[in-house]
């Protein structure tokens, strides 16, 4: 796809000093890595020449393989060749479709998903990290250096647990994750910047494991997401599986080995793909008991057996339109993204719904990675073009109230970043702690929603019941991730909350987690708190130092001295040898707080300065 030529800005600094950003489409079936080189975004190929790198990892006894070589091992080594791992991210065993059997050796059929492989127990985050690590080496090979930052795409309909898991995987792979970008939004960026069209677009993104429908408005350089809907467990894989079941029925097969199943599913997938262009396809396989399977599948036969899936795949369009308060005629263009939109049945269903043909001319496989690379390029400071992205959170955020009900705090399709506060009070005299359970979803009852986090707020000053005013602030950032803070207003006590993500765990396990955290030996806890205080201290010292280098002229002499002084004191404190961890953390925290206070004006001035210069047309990074 020919992309917009974006001119390099006049910048001092040799080309090799320019930061390199990459975009990664971490797909269910295939992954891609793209970058922006000389103003043009391109997808990189690995050493096997593949731009579409199968999201498959094989765990051998000595080492692992990712992509094409792993794919070859799928049929011969199904137990150790993990495919479509994205479907397991942020999920517990109970979330999986019970009709589908996997050839993997699951550690347990409850709780978090963990798989026993030849080289040890792997969880989905680890497996995704292995794929990301591989993509990282592809980038390093192509660019000659490590990427400065990466944007990883996620389905727009992914919930907080699935997003957190993806971010963890990125960090585990040693990547600096700049942003989690929604896949349809990424596609819209690539399409919008290329076509320069304005208007209202519906992105229909059907991949290997997920469906996203996203409605965006592109106007005057702003990409604004109006609504999002989808299904995080509907994709090409389900169509493969339906065809596989049909083949079993038709051939009267039962009790297959894992290798046979892997072979049949892989071949069913191929048949499905071929039916996009052929009216009928021959299917043949030799099973491990030497039995031969030979049949023909016609397109109409296939479309009949997947009819229900196709119906399911149209529902989110209705929901997205309703939430955006638009009718189907208000959509200027329907854009098909994702390999599974090559299926004729899908294209026809979408065509029928809207009464007109969708746009299928853009590369459905590469467009997401391209969009991610473009966004990554902007986020590392190469602001080559003037556009902005306003995305939304796909699911409502709520808190558990009396009787197992959900009270919604942040409704779905709220533009992010977004923050809301809620006031609570105590129900018993002298109550000093409070449990808060945060969920995501649209249902009325807690048990029907996705549990995000349970946390205990401690240190509430003992008062008469109903007197305390505890304000809990929920913040959803630009990645769509939640963070929570709490404060008792009357006393001003800001209690430390540890948010424990509870996805994938049952109540007993969560209870155990909370119990464990309470029963940490006192000294262990203090040592841990000291370590955490150190990390904070180092981070703030680094950022203040950078700021002083960049904008010292915004300070007068005494302010400059004051800030330097506060830095020195903190530096000295963190270098000291510690015997009393409690006292040491308290001291470090105090000095960090002081440093924060003395630099607060400075930070505002820097911001003002940056904005002033933005108004006068200068780029922010030209000032540095």
Residue whose pair of structure tokens reads 């990125």 in the numeric block: 170
418 touches another protein (CB under 8 A): yes
Stretch that binds another protein, among 54-62, 262-270, 416-424, 566-574 (CB under 8 A): 416-424
Out of 46, 159, 205, 400, the active site residue is 205
The CA R_g of the chain, rounded to the nearest whole Å, is 27
Please give the residues from 538 up to 577 whose contact with another protein meets the rule CB under 8 A: 539-540, 543-544, 546-547
In angstroms, rounded to a whole number, what is the distance separating the alpha carbons of residues 319 and 213? 9
Report how many residues bind another protein under the rule CB under 8 A: 48
Q: Is 15 exposed, middle or buried (0-12, 13-18, 19+ CB in 10 A)?
A: exposed
What's phi and psi for 251, nearest 5 deg? -95, 5
Q: Is 557 exposed, middle or buried (0-12, 13-18, 19+ CB in 10 A)?
A: exposed
Interface pattern 484-523 for another protein (x via CB under 8 A): ----------------------------------------
**In sequence order, what are the beta bridge partners of 410?**
397
Least spacing, CB of residue 426 vs another protein, in Å? 19
Please give the residues from 421 up to 480 whose contact with another protein meets the rule CB under 8 A: 442-443, 475, 477-478
Least spacing, CB of residue 295 vs another protein, in Å? 38
Least spacing, CB of residue 518 vs another protein, in Å? 31
Please give the residues from 376 up to 415 whose contact with another protein meets the rule CB under 8 A: 378-381, 388-390, 414-415
Pick the closer one to another protein by CB: 222 or 253: 222
Q: In sequence order, what are the residues at sequence separation of 6 or more whose Cβ sits closer than 8 angstroms to the Cβ of residue 348? A: none
Q: Is 303 exposed, middle or buried (0-12, 13-18, 19+ CB in 10 A)?
A: middle
Q: Is 86 annotated as catalytic?
A: yes
Q: Is 524 annotated as catalytic?
A: no
Cα–Cα distances (Å) from 390 to 224, 607, 610, in that order, read: 5, 21, 21
Pick the closer one to another protein by CB: 51 or 606: 606
In angstroms, rounded to a whole number, what is the distance separating the alpha carbons of residues 59 and 120? 9
Please give the residues from 176 up to 235 whose contact with another protein meets the rule CB under 8 A: 178-179, 219-222, 224
Pick the closer one to another protein by CB: 51 or 420: 420
Query: Is 223 in contact with 338 (CB distance < 8 Å)?
Result: no
Cα–Cα distances (Å) from 147 to 132, 322, 524, 529, 591, in that order, read: 13, 41, 37, 32, 34
Pick the closer one to another protein by CB: 491 or 604: 604
Least spacing, CB of residue 415 vs another protein, in Å? 5
Out of 183, 240, 400, 488, the active site residue is 183
In angstroms, rounded to a whole number, what is the distance separating the alpha carbons of residues 143 and 576? 42
Q: Is 183 annotated as catalytic?
A: yes
Q: Is 238 annotated as catalytic?
A: no
Interface positions with another protein (CB under 8 A): 19, 178-179, 219-222, 224, 319, 322-323, 378-381, 388-390, 414-420, 442-443, 475, 477-478, 539-540, 543-544, 546-547, 599-600, 603-604, 606-608, 610-611, 614, 620-621
Report, as residue numbers or ranges, the catalytic residues. 25, 86, 183, 205
């Amino acid at each position: 796809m020919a992309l917009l030529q974006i001119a390099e800005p006049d910048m001092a600094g040799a080309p090799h000093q320019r930061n390199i950003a990459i975009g990664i489409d971490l797909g269910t079936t295939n992954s891609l890595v793209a970058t922006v080189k000389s103003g043009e975004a391109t997808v990189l190929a690995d050493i096997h020449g593949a731009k579409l790198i199968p999201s498959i990892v094989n765990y051998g006894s000595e080492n692992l393989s990712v992509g094409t070589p792993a794919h070859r091992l799928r049929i011969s080594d199904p137990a150790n060749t993990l495919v479509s791992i994205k479907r397991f991210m942020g999920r517990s065993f109970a979330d999986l479709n019970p009709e589908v059997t996997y050839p993997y050796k699951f550690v347990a059929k409850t709780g978090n998903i963990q798989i026993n492989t030849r080289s040890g127990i792997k969880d989905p985050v680890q497996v995704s990290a292995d794929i990301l690590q591989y993509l990282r080496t592809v980038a390093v090979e192509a660019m000659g250096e490590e990427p400065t930052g990466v944007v990883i795409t996620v389905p727009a309909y992914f919930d907080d647990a699935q997003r957190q898991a993806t971010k963890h995987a990125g960090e585990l792979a040693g990547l600096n994750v700049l942003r989690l970008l929604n896949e349809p939004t990424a596609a819209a960026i690539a399409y919008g910047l290329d076509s320069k069209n304005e208007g209202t677009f519906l992105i229909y993104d059907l991949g290997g494991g997920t469906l996203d429908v996203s409605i965006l408005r592109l106007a005057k350089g702003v990409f604004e997401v109006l609504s999002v809907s989808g299904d995080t467990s509907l994709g090409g894989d389900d169509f493969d599986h339906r065809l596989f079941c049909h083949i079993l029925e038709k051939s009267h097969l039962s009790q297959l080995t894992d290798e046979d199943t892997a072979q049949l599913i892989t071949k069913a997938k191929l048949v499905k793909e071929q039916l996009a262009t052929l009216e009928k396809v021959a299917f043949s396989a030799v099973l491990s008991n030497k039995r031969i399977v030979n049949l023909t599948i016609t397109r109409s036969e296939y479309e009949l057996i997947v009819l229900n899936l196709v119906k399911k795949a149209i529902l989110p369009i209705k929901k997205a339109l309703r939430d955006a308060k638009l009718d189907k005629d208000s959509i200027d263009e329907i854009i098909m993204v994702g390999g599974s939109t090559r299926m004729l049945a899908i294209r026809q269903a979408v065509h029928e719904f809207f009464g007109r043909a969708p746009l299928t001319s853009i590369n459905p496989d590469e467009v997401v990675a391209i969009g991610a690379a473009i966004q990554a390029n902007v986020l590392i400071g190469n602001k080559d073009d003037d556009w902005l992205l306003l995305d939304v959170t796909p699911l409502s955020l709520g808190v558990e109230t009396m009787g197992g009900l959900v009270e919604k705090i942040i409704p779905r399709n709220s533009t992010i970043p977004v923050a809301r506060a809620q006031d609570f009070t105590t129900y018993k005299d002298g109550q000093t702690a409070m449990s808060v359970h945060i969920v995501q979803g649209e249902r009325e009852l807690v048990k029907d929603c996705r549990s995000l986090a349970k946390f205990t707020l401690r240190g509430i000053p003992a008062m008469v019941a109903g007197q305390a005013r505890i304000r809990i602030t929920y913040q959803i950032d630009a990645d769509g991730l939640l963070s929570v803070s709490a404060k008792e207003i009357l006393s001003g006590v800001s209690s430390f909350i540890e948010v424990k993500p509870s996805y994938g765990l049952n109540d007993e396990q969560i209870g155990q987690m909370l119990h464990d955290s309470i029963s940490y030996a006192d000294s262990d806890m203090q040592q841990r708190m000291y370590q955490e205080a150190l990390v904070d201290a180092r981070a703030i010292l680094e950022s203040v130092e950078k700021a002083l280098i960049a904008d010292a002229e915004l300070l007068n002499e005494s302010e400059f001295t004051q800030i330097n002084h506060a830095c020195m004191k903190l530096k000295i404190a963190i270098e000291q040898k510690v015997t009393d961890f409690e006292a040491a953390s308290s001291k470090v925290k105090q000095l960090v707080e002081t440093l924060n206070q003395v630099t607060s004006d400075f930070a505002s001035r820097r911001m003002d300065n940056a904005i002033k210069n933005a108004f006068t047309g200068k780029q922010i990074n030209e000032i540095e």
